[in-house]
Amino acid sequence: MKKDEMNSFLKKIPRGVIYHKVTDSVRYFLASMLAPLHRKEKVIEFENIFASYCERKYCVAFPFARTAIYFVLKALDLPKGAEVILPPITIKGIVDVVVDLGLTPVYVDLDVETINFRLDQLREKLNPNVKVAIITPLFGLVPDVSAMVALLKANGVFVIEDFSQCLNGRYDNKRVGTFGDVGIYSASSIKTLDTLGGGLAITDDQVVHDRLRNAQAGLMPARRTALIKKAWVNLIRNVATSEPVFSFLTFPVLQLIRQRNPEAALKQTGHRDKGRLATLPLLWFCRYTSVQAQIGIEQIKGVIAQDAARVANVEFLKASCEIDDFPKTTQESRNVYWQLILPVSNALEAQAYFAKRGIDSATSSLELVCALKDYPNRADLQTAQRIYRNGIFIPCFPHLSQSDMRRIVMAVNGYFQERGHAKEG
Ligand SMILES: Cc1ncc(COP(=O)(O)O)c(C=O)c1O
């Protein structure tokens, strides 16, 4: 048996990782139970660190990205029915806050090379009633943010960049999250900077900043039980995706789930509720805690090095796989590849093929929000549907070994060869 074959027999490769050491996750779990939650100066310290890290004047911390977006939209005093351009793939919570504020979501289809708004379709949607657009660089891929923002600004549209999946991405050497009026980063579980949740709004606009500060001051105290639950889930995910637990327990369990119901194991962190909310949950309006701020202060120092290792892995994979199907973005994009997305013809079939070779893969857990039945302005958008159903994440996280990488390349090449599809020339 060759070394790589032996490896795949024993060692399995997970679909993703938690960006904390297991020992850190244990510490954070203990802190969630024992440490004070509302040390204001700690939160301010982290806000200042994050603002200067992102090269913006201000940062205001909220419990979730959706909460930050809610208060940015509220600060704009928009007329009822004003249109907000949204990505067709994102978290449902963002549509919930838009609809709750009496605003109308409008969806624009994605470009296959950037997995972001198609510029021609974005232009078609513009009209005087469009007041806001939320540009969302997905999977760490950087689109031509400059052209998008120029088009939107020329039409009087307020621009929010949701860079939750693209911290440290750059377009033409300028940071993603700093092109528009406000940038929002979700520091939720499995992100590259994960503070057990949190929505960090960055801006240079003093008026918006002052309004966000007022909103922050009106939030309710955080609930410790909610923080403990997040710290626990993070710890469990961390242990479950670490060796040897992943190879000997998590992977076999995932295969059992998949054999019983292939759809159940397909999405990265499972399925989420699609139903319409009667009211926004109170939990969305509780404060960001000083425990989370402290985690941010510790973890932010390591993000650049982890990005560099992951980007190097992606470059190796893209150069070694004999296919031309990875999104190409643009010449000026400096992508961070939070996930390496690969469109395939059938995600379930690809997942099964990779699993046979000891590689766990998944599709995004984000929602195809433009297709939600209970929400207004549904749209049938072809590329978004394709990416949502059949865009599969190929493992690329920082601590993959050379032998892991060779196995992934062999599996991807094998999969496409069996389907008679390889790079031309
Ligand atoms: C693009 C994007 N926006 C927002 C979020 C999360 O937002 P919240 O902090 O409201 O859970 C995520 C997390 O999965 C995301 O990927």
- Predicted pLDDT of residue 419: 87
C-alpha pair distances (Å), 233 with each of 46, 227, 337: 23, 10, 24
- Predicted pLDDT of residue 334: 98
Set 12, 191, 230, 318: catalytic member: 191
The CATH number covering residue 331 comes to 3.90.1150.10
C-alpha 366 – ligand 1 centre gap (Å): 8
Q: How many domains does the chain have?
A: 2
| Residue 270: pLDDT over 90 | no
- Predicted pLDDT of residue 271: 75
Task: Return the ligand 1 atom nearest residue 64 CA.
Answer: 9
Task: Return the ligand 1 atom nearest residue 90 CA.
Answer: 1
Per the domain annotation, does 377 fall within a domain? yes
Does ligand 1 lie within 6 Å of residue 70's CB atom? Answer: no
Considering the domain architecture, whether residues 268 and 372 belong to the same structural domain is answered as yes
Mean pLDDT value of segment 183-208: 97
Considering the domain architecture, whether residues 31 and 9 belong to the same structural domain is answered as no
E-state strands within 31-186? 58-62, 83-86, 89-90, 104-107, 130-135, 158-162, 170-171, 174-175, 182-186
| Residue 422: pLDDT over 70 | no
* pLDDT tens track for 66-112: 999 999 999 999 999 999 999 999 999 999 999 999 999 999 999 99
Per the domain annotation, does 279 fall within a domain? no
Domain extent for 390? 3-21+227-273+302-415
- Predicted pLDDT of residue 355: 96
* pLDDT tens track for 8-58: 668 999 999 999 999 999 999 999 999 999 999 999 999 999 999 999 999
Residue among 365, 384, 351, 367 nearest 261 (CA): 351
Considering the domain architecture, whether residues 207 and 233 belong to the same structural domain is answered as no
| Residue 325: pLDDT over 90 | yes
> Are residues 360 and 14 in contact, defined by beta-carbon separation less than 8 angstroms?
yes
Does ligand 1 lie within 6 Å of residue 116's CB atom? Answer: no
C-alpha 365 – ligand 1 centre gap (Å): 10
| Residue 328: pLDDT over 80 | yes
- Predicted pLDDT of residue 269: 78
C-alpha 61 – ligand 1 centre gap (Å): 14
Give residue 268's pLDDT band: very low, low, confident or very high (50, 70, 90). Answer: confident
The CATH number covering residue 64 comes to 3.40.640.10
> Are residues 64 and 185 in contact, defined by beta-carbon separation less than 8 angstroms?
no
Considering the domain architecture, whether residues 83 and 196 belong to the same structural domain is answered as yes
Considering the domain architecture, whether residues 130 and 173 belong to the same structural domain is answered as yes
Considering the domain architecture, whether residues 236 and 200 belong to the same structural domain is answered as no
Q: Whose CA is nearest to atom 3 of ligand 1?
A: 164
What single-letter DSSP state applies at residue 189? T
Asked if 191 is an active-site residue, the reply is: yes
Residue bearing the bigger pLDDT, 425 or 314? 314
Considering the domain architecture, whether residues 259 and 382 belong to the same structural domain is answered as yes
